[in-house]
Amino acid sequence: MFVLVWATLLLSVKDNNADTSASLERTFCQDEFCVTLSDGEIRAEAGLCVVISCSFTTRVGFTPQSIVWFKCGQSKKRCGDADVIFNRNSRKVQAGFRGRVTLLDSDISQRNCSIIINDLTASDSGSYQLRINSFRSGGFQYSSRANVSIKDLTQKPTMMIPPLTEGQQTTLSCSAPGLCSGSVPKITWMWRGGENDSHITGNISAVKTENLRHSSTLTLTPSSEHHGTEITCIVGFTGRTTTEETVTLNVTYVKEVKVSGNTRVKEGETLNLTCNIKSFPPSLITWTKLSDKNMQSGTETNLQNNASTIQENQTETCLQEGVGEVTLSISNVTAKDSGLYVCTAKHLNNTLMEEADVKVIYMKMPVITGNVSLNRGDALNLTCSVESYPLSYITWTLLGSDTDLQNDTGSSTLVISNVKAENSGRYICTAKHLNSTVTVSSDVSVTWFPSIFKNSGCQIQSRVLTCVCLSEGFPLPTIKWPLLKNHTQYSVVTAVTNHIVNSTLTLTLQDHSNTSAECISSNENGEVKESLTILINMPEKQADQSWGPKLFSWQEVILAFFLGLLLTALFCLLATKCHRQRQKSSDNLVKTLEMVTNQEDPLIDAHQEVEHNHTYDQEVTEEGEAVAEEESTFDLDGGPKDVEYASIDFSVLKRKKTVKKQEATETEYAEIKKGGKEQSKDDGRVNSDVLEGQEEELMMMMKDEETQMCIPEEEEEVYSNVKDILDKI
């Protein structure tokens, strides 16, 4: 077994230390003594070891007992005792070779004379000569020599670096060059990752020698900080000969994905996003943008946990791709560029993701939606929406008003129920976004079909037809009179109050027997027609003629009888009264009674509906020849207005101072008759009103005669009505 080990060592030394020129062996014989040595020069490096391979044969009968090796110069033909470098049985060995030379096979019978010289130095260069000793026959020294040349050390340590992964413990090894059994070299580990080298401390094993190989191990847990650094193994041999080997560490690691850049950009600017990930080997980086569909489904909320799911659902194409660090650049951004951008890093079998929520600061023009043409009573519903980021502040106002109607952010809806005419106008939407303000407006028009008031109507007085038509609507209606097609002379007066049109028609008629009046009111919404009621105001003579037949009715005959009795009694009382007054009176005064009746024009309230109730006023003059016009008053409150006495003017009445003959002096009365029937459910009340009117007229006639008789010659008193006369009595 020992022989096999040394044979292996010999072959290894030859392979590692011997030059190709010395790999060939040559046999030299002299007097039946032969030796086989390396042919040519044996090259070796300082600090290492060299093997001089050797084998010998002797003549028959010569028994070798020991082996002696000499080192001497080429000038010497024969080396002496002073040149001994190896002799197991003698102490006469050069001091510099003690302990450094060893036989590869100590069994001389094997005829193996190979030696190994450790810890070589430059002085070990030279020629080496062999001698075989025998106790019986003396010894034999071969003249053939082995030439050795020692050069500076060029061989490097052998470093074994397994794959390094961050966080996983691993062991590195460094083996000294050469297979030598000499002194144990000094092996040192050093980092070379910065400006200065530093020794590695801890977790370094002692130098071990296995199969004549010296090695050292280093145990460490690598991190990303070790990646890219250099580690050096330095081997120091005897004689200050050193060699070293440096390798760069590659540590497999991956850090977090980092996204940098401004995620808030104004519309029109350039978006720059940089995705960076530190890893080894470098990661493949891809920029994508999540579609709106994925964002609405909420897929982006679990980017790290569901990376594979997001990749399957992504519908957007790759925006940018690279290794290690990739910058996504989008120029002239718009609102569509807002969204969630995802940086995906693929490292070996791992996938890491990081998102960037990009917001483009922008503002579009406000938009108003809703129906702006409404009918009265509808609901106004206008929505002003502004697409912007951040959200805009929206305010609703009405032109001409300082009060805000509605305000909100992003979108504001203005609702007004049951709109009226005053709700028409220009509604302004004001949107404030950061430092800018934008306004839009919408014109709202409230329309309704025209309608004719019930208090519209006509009246005829002294062949003059007067018609009034009141109509309301929006836009303002136009009133037409079909009656005017057959006439050329007329007057139409139109007045407007708010949304009410008042049209007054005045027309002279020769014959009103078949006259009809129609009012047509129309606007862009439609047309409405109304046939107006015509009321006729007759002159006094015609009114008296119409009363003729009624004086002979049985009811009035009975009434006249009782009135006659009453008047007779009154006549007697008046006669007595007049006689007394005639004696007391000394002045002769004549007074004339003149009554003027003023009636205010009817006021028409456009916002109220009235029925066709009319009041007729008659004024009868003293001679009965002039007939006063009878005016019809339209009251919007629904009832007739009573005629009031405006003033009574008494003029001086003159009488003739004739005692024997008294002329009858007629006294003028201003008779004011209230016509117009009040709206009542009892129709029988009309007849009683007529009877009362006739009774009053008869009493006035009787009193007129009695007053004539009782007026004294010197002073006459004039009474305005029957009631005043009765009061005097």
- pLDDT band for position 693 (cuts 50, 70, 90): very low
Average pLDDT estimate for 668-685:
35
CA–CA gap between residue 612 and residue 383 (Å, rounded): 47
Short-list 641, 643, 612, CA closest to 470: 612
**Per-residue pLDDT at 132 exceeds 70:** yes
Strand pairing class (264-266; 350-363) = parallel
Average pLDDT estimate for 639-656:
36
**Spelled out in words, what is the top-level CATH class assigned to the domain 364-448?**
mainly beta
Q: How much is the pTM?
A: 0.53
Q: Comparing 190-199, 224-233, 484-493, which segment has the lowest mean pLDDT?
A: 190-199
- b/e code 521-546 from CB counts within 10 Å (16+ = b): bbbeeeebebebebbebbbbeebeee
CA–CA gap between residue 667 and residue 657 (Å, rounded): 18
CATH 2.60.40.10 segments of the chain:
2-151, 158-252, 255-362, 364-448, 449-537
CA–CA gap between residue 621 and residue 495 (Å, rounded): 36
**Per-residue pLDDT at 255 exceeds 90:** yes
**Per-residue pLDDT at 729 exceeds 50:** no
Average pLDDT estimate for 415-437:
92
Tell me which amino acid residue 123 is: S
- Give the model confidence (pLDDT) of 71-104 as tens digits: 998 788 889 889 999 998 878 899 889 989 999 9
The third-level CATH classification (topology) of the domain covering 158-252 is Immunoglobulin-like (2.60.40)
Four-way CATH pick for 449-537: 3.90.470.10, 3.30.70.3280, 1.10.3080.10, 2.60.40.10? 2.60.40.10
The third-level CATH classification (topology) of the domain covering 255-362 is Immunoglobulin-like (2.60.40)
Average pLDDT taken over every residue of the chain: 75
Cis peptide before 640 (omega within 30 of 0): no
Q: What percent of the chain has pLDDT over 90?
A: 43
**Per-residue pLDDT at 513 exceeds 50:** yes
Instruction: Return the higher-pLDDT residue of 713 and 261.
Output: 261
- b/e code 593-619 from CB counts within 10 Å (16+ = b): bebebebeebebebeebbebbbbbbbb
Instruction: Return the higher-pLDDT residue of 513 and 438.
Output: 438
Q: Is 187 within 8 Å of 199 (Cβ atoms)?
A: no
- pLDDT band for position 447 (cuts 50, 70, 90): confident
Instruction: Give strand ranges (E) for 176-297.
Output: 186-192, 198-199, 208-210, 213-220, 230-237, 241-248, 251-254, 258-260, 264-266, 271-276, 279-280, 284-289
Please count the residues of the chain: 729
CA–CA gap between residue 57 and residue 131 (Å, rounded): 12
Three-state SS at 177: coil
For residue 310, the model assigns a pLDDT of 46
- pLDDT band for position 411 (cuts 50, 70, 90): very high
Structure tokens at 471: 């109509």
Residue with tokens 């194409």: 317
For residue 196, the model assigns a pLDDT of 57
Q: Comparing 32-46, 106-120, 304-318, 655-669, which segment has the lowest mean pLDDT?
A: 655-669
Average pLDDT estimate for 443-448:
88
Beta bridge partners of 204: 218
- pLDDT band for position 558 (cuts 50, 70, 90): confident
Q: What percent of the chain has pLDDT over 70?
A: 68
- Assign domain 2-151 to its CATH architecture: Sandwich (2.60)
- Give the model confidence (pLDDT) of 577-628 as tens digits: 776 666 655 444 333 333 333 333 333 333 333 333 333 333 333 333 333 3
